[in-house]
A and B are shown apart, each in its own frame.
Chain A
Amino acid sequence: MIRINGCGRVVATLLALLGSARALDLSDLDIAVRLWAAPEGSRSNHDSPFAPAAELAQVGGERGRGEADLRLRRGGLTAELSARAVARTGEKLHSQGLVNELFYEADILGQHLTLGKKVMSWDVGFGCRPLDVVQQEDRRALHPFALEGVPLLAWELFGEEWALTLLYANPLRGRAPAPRDDESAALRHYRKLGAVDVHLVARYSGRTQVQAGAALAAVLGDAVELHASARYQRRSERFAGLAAGELFAASDPTTAAVSADVVAALVGFTITPGQGLSILGEAWLDPAGSGADEWRAMAALAGRQRALLGDPSFPAAAVLANLAWGQRAFDRQNLLRENLFLRASWKGERLEPAVDLLCTPEDGGWVATAAVSYQGERTRLEGGLRLLGGPPGSAYRLFPESAIFYGALQVFF
């Protein structure tokens, strides 16, 4: 991973690149700039057993994020540089600069090579993406930062109706805590069979061992798209907290529970009846999610820990730390294994309202979002509200926030 400490260096790099662009005759330099800022507020969920440690876990309150992205391309060389900032009421501004992408693509005698750090997304789904074995992205996140590419070396072949990609990601890095940083070799084969796209993917890394999957995407008629994907994984990891029966930990008890031979799967559809209306439906199974019984156990443990606040024999700081560690269970794309998702949007002249609903049938939890965006010539303005709820003890009802309201302004140059 290529990181630069502080925004200053990134800004200096950007200026240097722009200066170089002016000094040289780079009339064919392709430049795109995006600036955005997204303030958020929330309503606390005081019923959550985790609520007392929400601030410690950096959940809740007013916060905001912003990013400046500069994308440059000349010939086969592409670079995307970002300066990011995160602000939270009562805390110092955190900023970071990084190189999101920096890669060179060469086309030699029908062979297509890529060297560098590049975004490499492969799945066909929206809410869950089983075939994203190299690059992971959360499409449901509210205003995520620009995707950060994966260092890789790739060789690709393209036929009229097929493509083959062989890549080596994170060379010589070995196992890494995050899947995207893991050293791995991956293969993808794409074939167009009439109106159906078929994707086959295989990957090997020391951490996950063998992963293999397939995806389909097909269009039926003028208005219906169907997609499905599934992935087998020899070794899978997911969140695990304190062992059963334990009440308290002296240090972060978060570990990764290992499972063997797991399957992630997704099926979905898009219906576009016209007039700018689009309806997306998906159902998926994510083995990285927990079961309802595990969430009930986590809720019970957090409830017992919360009850210790005020008990002189347990330091409050230690109790709060345990409650904050417990909230790492929410740092996952899918809190539960089984998920249903429905999204409806309408694209007007400049306005695009959208509503979506995520349900977790196993515990009855849900997340509902309503948003509206306005697109100008160089700007995009968005505002929305996300509500989290469900029966007591359900995962989304346990989250220390019950509502998030947000805005976002993007400016393009």
Chain B
Amino acid sequence: MSREKLGYRLQAADYGSSAPGPSSVSCEGVGPSRCGTGRLGRLTFSLALACLARTAAASDVRALLEKADAYRLDPGAAQVSVRVEVHKDGKLDKERQYLVYWRPGRRSLVLSRSPVEKGQKVLMLGDDFWIVLPSSQRPIRITPAQKLLGDAASGDVATMTWAEDYDGEIGGEVEVNGVACFRLDLEAQRRGVTYHRLELYLARSDARPVQADLYVASERLAKRATFEMTTEEGRPRVSAMKLVDRIQTNRETLIRYLSRSPRSIGDEYYNPMFLTRHDPD
């Protein structure tokens, strides 16, 4: 079954749509005067249906991603406290803490809270990045490749949603760690993202993230992410994301979401020149 077809079937099955899949579309019930308008008419109709199917599949993917994102972050601006633990051969090797202010539109302000990096700030506005180091107190423009924060890329720390950055199609259904999952084949829609391609596995039952294979620009599988779940205020939430390095296989990075709450800070905090002023209280 083609991916478009699968996508269409999923829409009907999971979201209550009564729209039939392309394979079930026929001229039955339509009079010959309308159906038999020649090859050109059929071709146009088929193309229109194919486009419709593709659009429907895309909206399925988006809906699934938004649902998966909600396990990490509620819609709207938020403040998230994050601890990044790097484990080597099973032992804790490094630990960093960050406070992330996030708002829709791919805007994040990351404040380093660990003693050795205290005062360091990274601002992400879409594909543009700035850093302020405590020693110089000036915003420095950096490339997307420079936005590393310790062992977790800021894409891992500052980007908490997939729906804004990725699009693609549903590639099939597989079982991951005993969980029936949709496999989403996702391509980055913007250049500033850390991973250019994702294979994201979402639980078929509730679209919670189960696993993600993260590919960098060279098409190399850089990391495999798995997700730990908890219950907060009666809702299932992602409590941690574990990143296993596929190159240095003895290394694991655990990104723990210590706290998250709705919080909107002033627009000025997302201006790079404001980075040298005080942090949000």
Contact = CB atoms under 8 A, between A and B. Distances in A.
B141 A225 contact: yes
Interface in A273-319: 273-274, 276, 278
B141 A32 contact: no
A71 B118 CA distance: 10
Interface string A225-253: 10100000000000000000000000000
B273 A378 contact: no
B116 A379 contact: yes
A195 B273 contact: no
Contacts of B270: 160
In the complex, which of the residues A137, A146, A276, A349 has the most CB atoms of chain B within 10 Å of its own CB atom?
Answer: A349
A147 B136 contact: yes
A272 B115 contact: no
Contacts of A276: 148
Given A121-B137, A377-B94, A112 B277 contact: yes
A225 B148 contact: no
A380 B274 CA distance: 28
A375 interface: yes
Contacts of A76: 278
Interface of A: 28, 30, 32, 71, 73, 75-76, 78, 105, 107, 112, 114, 119-124, 137, 139, 146-147, 156, 158-163, 165, 190, 192, 195, 197, 217-219, 221-225, 227, 270, 272-274, 276, 278, 347, 349-350, 375-380, 412-413
A18 B129 CA distance: 36
B144 A222 contact: yes
Contacts of A378: 115-116
Contact of B141 (A28, A75, A107, A218): A218
Interface of B: 93-95, 114-116, 118-119, 127-129, 134-138, 140-146, 148, 151, 191-192, 216-217, 266-268, 270-274, 276-279, 281
Contact of B119 (A71, A112, A122, A221): A71
24 contacts: A28-B281, A105-B278, A112-B268, A114-B277, A120-B276, A121-B137, A122-B138, A156-B273, A158-B268, A158-B271, A158-B273, A160-B270, A163-B271, A163-B274, A222-B192, A223-B143, A225-B142, A225-B143, A273-B145, A276-B148, A350-B94, A378-B116, A379-B116, A412-B116
Contact of A377 (B95, B278, B281): B95
Given A139-B136, A147-B135, 15 more contacts: A28-B281, A76-B278, A112-B274, A122-B138, A163-B273, A219-B129, A219-B141, A221-B191, A223-B145, A227-B141, A270-B143, A276-B148, A378-B115, A412-B118, A413-B115
A195 B127 contact: yes
Contacts of B116: 375-380, 412
Given A105-B277, A158-B273, A222 B268 contact: no
Contacts of B145: 222-223, 272-274
A26 B144 CA distance: 38
A156 B270 CA distance: 15
A218 B129 CA distance: 11
Nearest to A272: B145
In the complex, which of the residues B116, B140, B274 has the most CB atoms of chain A within 10 Å of its own CB atom?
Answer: B116
Nearest to B146: A272
In the complex, which of the residues A119, A276, A376 has the most CB atoms of chain B within 10 Å of its own CB atom?
Answer: A119
Given A160-B267, A219-B128, A32 B142 contact: no
B118 A32 contact: yes
